[in-house]
């Protein structure tokens, strides 16, 4: 079995060290106290309070509707549980794109009100001013390139990105720009494995892939997907490590049966 990381506390500097040592970074999402505690106790390196909460927790079709207040609520819940992992929080759609000062205020609210360790922002050249401004306040930033779900209305589909030369070249340039601006890492979502490895090899900072092949410095998945709590979402890159939805439904059905048949509570379960 692969040795899990022995770092007592994960910081952005530790992630850099992990890249240098060739140790892969394991990242998962969490949006609440209980799940975050389980991930942290299991030894996860990075917890992402992703705006995928918009889909997974709130049932929206896209990540666009989730608000800054809602992200801060999720991030605060996660922070109460975590002692070791680095916690990164997504800046939600509409809170950083138009104006770098607004981006700075949004990031400061997340850091101040939740106590998180870093923020994540989708995009390259178009939003680099916002990234620079946030970094200038001492807030670590994780970039996010490739498939950027907040731009779904521009692209219209969630298909693999940067399969064409022009888009691949822009992604490589954007990745370098984000590194030069001072991002501590970059999430690469749903791009060809070869490109994921090429971007990773060209950067000093770590990359964390989701559907970007095994040449990146780490991997991230949505916990609810990899645990099988969600059932409909089945992209090729998703490995399911459990089938918790079936387990939960089976348990609930047993509970219903026990209540209806007056098997629950029994003598030992009452006062």
Dist CA 86 CA 84 (whole Å): 7
Q: Which of 30, 31, 59 is nearest to 42 (CA)?
A: 30
Angle of CA points 199, 98, 93, to nearest 5°: 70
Task: Report the nearest approach of ligand KIV to the CB of residue 152 (Å).
Answer: 12
Q: Could you say which of 23, 40, 45, 90 contacts ligand KIV (CB under 6 A)?
A: 90
- With H, G, I as helix, E, B as strand and everything else as coil, classify residue 41: helix
200 by DSSP, 3-state: which?
A: helix
* Site pattern 179..218 for ligand KIV (x: CB under 6 A): --------x-x--------------------x--------
Residue 17 known to be catalytic: no
CA dist 32 and 12 (Å) reads 22
Min separation Cβ 27 and ligand KIV, Å: 8
**Interface pick for ligand KIV out of 51, 174, 179, 225 (rule CB under 6 A):** 51
Q: Which residue in the list 23, 122, 179, 189 is annotated as catalytic?
A: 189
What residues does 144 pair with on adjacent strands? 122, 187
89, 168, 222, 229: residue in contact with ligand KIV (rule CB under 6 A): 222
Binding mask 24-43 for ligand KIV (x = CB under 6 A): -----x--------------
Query: Closer to ligand KIV at the Cβ: 64 or 108?
Result: 64
What backbone phi and psi angles, to 5 degrees, belong to 114?
-110, -25
147 binds ligand KIV (CB under 6 A): no
Residue 86's DSSP bridge partners are 46
CA dist 105 and 132 (Å) reads: 13
Q: Which residues bind ligand KIV (CB under 6 A)?
A: 29, 48, 50-52, 90, 187, 189, 210, 220, 222
């Amino acid at each position: 079995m692969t040795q899990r990381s022995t770092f007592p506390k994960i910081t952005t500097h530790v992630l850099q060290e992990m890249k240098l040592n060739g140790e892969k970074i394991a990242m998962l999402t969490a949006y609440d106290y209980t799940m975050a505690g389980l991930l942290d106790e299991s030894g996860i390196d990075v917890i992402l309070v992703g705006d995928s909460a918009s889909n997974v927790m709130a049932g929206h079709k896209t990540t666009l509707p989730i608000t800054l207040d809602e992200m801060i609520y999720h991030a605060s819940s996660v922070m109460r549980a975590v002692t070791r992992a680095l916690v990164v929080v997504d800046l939600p759609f509409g809170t950083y794109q138009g104006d770098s000062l607004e981006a700075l205020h949004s990031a400061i609210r997340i850091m101040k009100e939740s106590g998180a360790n870093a923020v994540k922002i989708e995009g390259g050249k178009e939003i680099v001013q916002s990234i620079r401004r946030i970094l200038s306040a001492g807030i670590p930033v994780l970039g996010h390139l490739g498939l950027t779900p907040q731009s779904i209305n521009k692209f219209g589909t969630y298909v693999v990105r940067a399969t064409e030369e022009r888009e691949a070249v822009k992604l490589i340039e954007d990745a370098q720009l984000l590194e030069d601006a001072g991002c501590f890492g970059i999430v690469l979502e749903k791009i060809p494995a070869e490109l994921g490895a090429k971007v990773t090899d060209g950067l000093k900072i770590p990359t964390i892939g989701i559907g970007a092949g095994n040449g990146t410095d780490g991997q991230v998945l949505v916990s609810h997907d990899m645990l099988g709590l969600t059932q409909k979402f089945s992209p090729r890159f998703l490995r399911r490590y459990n089938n918790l939805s079936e387990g939960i439904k089976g348990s609930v059905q047993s509970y219903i049966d026990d209540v209806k048949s007056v098997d629950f509570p029994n003598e030992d379960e009452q006062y």
